[in-house]
């Protein structure tokens, strides 16, 4: 998508490296050189002289956290099929490949900087706001579109939610995560990538309109309820960055620090529509932050919490934050007005609150959350903050989904031998009424409903995977669309209306 610029910087990097080391070295003459030099010769052109990434992804320990070292070694040896990442087994010997693998899992020798200047110079606006037509280039219900993130080959598919057919497929940045966010009118979508890139995409025109790199290793992004701002939450550096949503101009750079000067990663940031603010929690210090924007500047209100908050959720009115304590054994309820902890909940094993959902049960609001480390789903009364039911599942889960119009909630088993199963829970009896195993041996995960709650999409989370369409009422499979490791799916209507059955 930014090929020209990437190619230009690639050539620049190659020239630079050429000048540094005097031309491309071959394996035989590379025997005695240091691993760092080997990296500069063989890898830096694509992965950046500082390992910050370029045309290839960043190769830094935090960014590689989800890739096992042995897997990285295999990638270097054999390459990745159908990508620019070629195999090095004929060029480099085993020791060199092992040394390079070790090298990329080591922190850099000097601290990497990604501050205001770096952010500003990374910005690229290909179509300034207002320069593209307002009429969509395709016909479909614009409120019932889905975006499917395919992490298998870093693409995104736009789906017609009525016909349940693809409209368009386009390349994304490497390793999108944290969930794309729509503008309030549903025309634009903002993607965040592992390596810190924010991409703004115009769905009506099927075009990337602006990009900026907010950090080196990013957790997620949020879009303000009025659609005016995008806030990025980083792991590296320890910062949050505020952007004007129109062309992704940087407005404010917020170092994440306490008064003593200690800094922290950000666990995540979400928009809190009724409050007109953003709420973030910190990963390395027990604080939650409320961030409001005044005259293009971020105003931070800090709340001290009793525990570190890795993952969290809100009640529908955004009065309370429900967080998972670091010990994984309980949840805390924090009043967002006072900053006080008002309740504690016993929870069996590292809840994934970020994917919690809520519904009406016997006249009161309940929330349900799966757990990363226990085969259980906790159902919690949101008035009394009591756990009213713990459902036993066939293994730890990742996502839960429902829709206001559906009587069922769907919960995947994501870890362990039963990761190919999905549970369906009746929201009125709080019982598991059916367990599906749509593709034995392949992970089945993450459901998203259409805008009406009539159909739903389930992912077969595999490079040779698919989206399965189900009738939300009869629970019958209707069709399969082949996809490359479709991770998340995001329905425009459900997301912009903060539908109770989906995470935000
Ligand atoms: C011509 C460009 C290019 C060169 C040169 C290159 N790579 Fe890559 N590399 C890529 C691309 C592109 C990817 C992403 C492939 C994909 O889509 O999965 C990648 C992926 C990787 C990954 C996997 C990263 C992840 O997070 O999954 C590792 C590890 C890696 N490269 C290491 C190296 C090393 C070490 C060298 C030097 C010996 C090297 N690469 C040289 C382009 C390159």
- Ligand 1 pocket test, pick from 26, 47, 197, 216 with the greatest ligand atom count within 8 Å of Cβ, gives 47
pLDDT bracket for residue 329 (50, 70, 90)? confident
Regarding the beta carbon of 75 and ligand 1, being less than 6 Å apart is answered yes
Regarding the beta carbon of 83 and ligand 1, being less than 6 Å apart is answered yes
For the segment 149-174, the average pLDDT, to the nearest whole number, is 97
Does the CA dihedral 283-265-304-384 come out positive or negative?
Answer: negative
Lowest mean pLDDT among 154-168, 312-326, 476-490: 312-326
Does the pLDDT of residue 282 top 80, yes or no? yes
The dihedral region occupied by 23, where left means phi > 0, alpha psi between -120 and 50, and beta the remainder, is: left
pLDDT of residue 103: 96
Q: State how far the Cα of 232 lies from the Cα of 273, in Å rounded to an integer.
A: 17
What is the whole-number distance in angstroms between the Cα of residue 53 and the centre of ligand 1?
9
Residue nearest (by alpha carbon) to ligand 1 atom 5? 43
Nearby residues of 23 by Cβ (< 8 Å), 6 or more positions away: none
167 touches 472 (CB < 8 A): no
Does the pLDDT of residue 224 top 50, yes or no? yes
Q: State how far the Cα of 354 lies from the Cα of 4, in Å rounded to an integer.
A: 37
Regarding the beta carbon of 72 and ligand 1, being less than 6 Å apart is answered yes
pLDDT of residue 4: 46
The dihedral region occupied by 453, where left means phi > 0, alpha psi between -120 and 50, and beta the remainder, is: left
Does the pLDDT of residue 316 top 70, yes or no? yes
pLDDT of residue 442: 97
List pLDDT tens digits, range 79-134. 998 899 999 999 999 999 999 999 999 999 888 999 999 999 999 999 999 999 99
Residue nearest (by alpha carbon) to ligand 1 atom 29? 72
Residue 137: other Cβ atoms inside 10 A: 14
142 touches 186 (CB < 8 A): yes
pLDDT of residue 333: 94
What is the whole-number distance in angstroms between the Cα of residue 267 and the centre of ligand 1?
27
Cα 361 to the chain's mean position, in Å?
30
Regarding the beta carbon of 80 and ligand 1, being less than 6 Å apart is answered yes
For the segment 68-82, the average pLDDT, to the nearest whole number, is 95
pLDDT of residue 31: 54
Q: Which of 341, 347, 340 is nearest to 326 (CA)?
A: 347
What is the whole-number distance in angstroms between the Cα of residue 56 and the centre of ligand 1?
6
Regarding the beta carbon of 59 and ligand 1, being less than 6 Å apart is answered yes
Q: State how far the Cα of 177 lies from the Cα of 219, in Å rounded to an integer.
A: 8
Regarding the beta carbon of 47 and ligand 1, being less than 6 Å apart is answered yes
Regarding the beta carbon of 67 and ligand 1, being less than 6 Å apart is answered yes
pLDDT of residue 25: 43
Does the pLDDT of residue 24 top 90, yes or no? no
pLDDT of residue 3: 42
Q: Which of 448, 175, 198 is nearest to 190 (CA)?
A: 198
The percentage of residues in the chain with a pLDDT greater than 90, rounded to a whole number, is: 82
């Amino acid at each position: 998508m930014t090929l020209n610029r990437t190619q230009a910087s690639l050539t620049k990097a190659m020239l630079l490296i050429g000048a540094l080391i005097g031309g491309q070295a071959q394996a035989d003459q590379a025997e005695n050189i240091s691993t760092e030099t080997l990296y500069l010769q063989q890898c830096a052109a694509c992965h950046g002289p500082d390992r910050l990434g370029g045309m290839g992804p960043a190769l830094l320990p935090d960014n590689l956290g989800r890739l096992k070292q042995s897997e990285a070694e295999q990638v270097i040896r054999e390459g990745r099929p159908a990508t620019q990442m070629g195999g090095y087994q004929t060029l480099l010997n085993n020791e060199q490949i092992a040394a390079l693998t070790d090298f990329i899992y080591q922190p850099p020798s000097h601290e990497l900087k990604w501050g205001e200047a770096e952010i500003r110079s990374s910005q690229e606006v290909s179509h300034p706001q207002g320069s593209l037509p307002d009429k969509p280039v395709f016909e479909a219900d614009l409120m019932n579109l889905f975006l499917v993130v395919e992490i298998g080959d870093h693409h995104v598919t736009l789906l017609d939610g009525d016909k349940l057919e693809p409209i368009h497929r386009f390349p994304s940045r490497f390793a999108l995560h944290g969930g794309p966010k729509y503008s309030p009118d549903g025309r634009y979508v903002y993607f965040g990538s592992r390596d810190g890139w924010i991409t703004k995409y115009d769905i009506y025109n099927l075009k990337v309109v602006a990009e900026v790199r907010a950090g080196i290793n990013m957790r997620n992004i949020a879009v303000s309820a009025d659609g005016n701002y995008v806030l990025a939450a980083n792991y590296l550096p320890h910062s949050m960055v505020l952007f004007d949503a129109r062309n992704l101009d940087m407005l404010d750079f917020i170092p994440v620090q306490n008064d003593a000067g200690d800094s922290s990663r950000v666990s995540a940031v979400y928009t809190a529509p009724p409050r007109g603010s953003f709420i973030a929690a910190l990963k390395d210090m027990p604080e939650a932050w409320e961030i409001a924007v005044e005259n293009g500047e971020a105003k931070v209100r800090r709340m001290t919490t009793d525990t570190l908050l890795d993952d969290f959720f809100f009640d529908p009115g955004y009065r309370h934050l429900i967080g998972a304590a670091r010990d994984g054994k309980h949840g805390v309820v924090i009043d967002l007005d006072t900053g006080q902890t008002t309740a504690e909940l016993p929870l069996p094993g590292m809840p994934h609150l970020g994917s919690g959902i809520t519904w009406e049960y016997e006249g009161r609001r309940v929330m349900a959350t799966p757990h990363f480390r226990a085969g259980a789903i906790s159902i919690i009364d949101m008035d009394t903050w009591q756990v009213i039911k713990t459902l036993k599942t066939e293994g730890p889960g990742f996502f839960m989904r429902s829709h206001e119009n559906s009587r069922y909630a769907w919960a995947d088993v994501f870890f362990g031998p039963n990761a190919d199963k999905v549970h369906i829970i009746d929201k009125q009896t709080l019982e598991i009424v059916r367990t599906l195993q749509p593709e034995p041996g392949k992970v089945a995960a993450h459901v998203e409903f259409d805008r009406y709650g009539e159909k739903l999409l389930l992912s077969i989370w595999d490079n040779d995977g698919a989206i399965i369409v189900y009738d939300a009422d009869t629970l019958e499979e209707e069709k399969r669309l082949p996809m490359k490791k479709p991770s998340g799916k995001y329905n425009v209507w459900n997301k912009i209306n903060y539908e109770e059955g989906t995470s935000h």
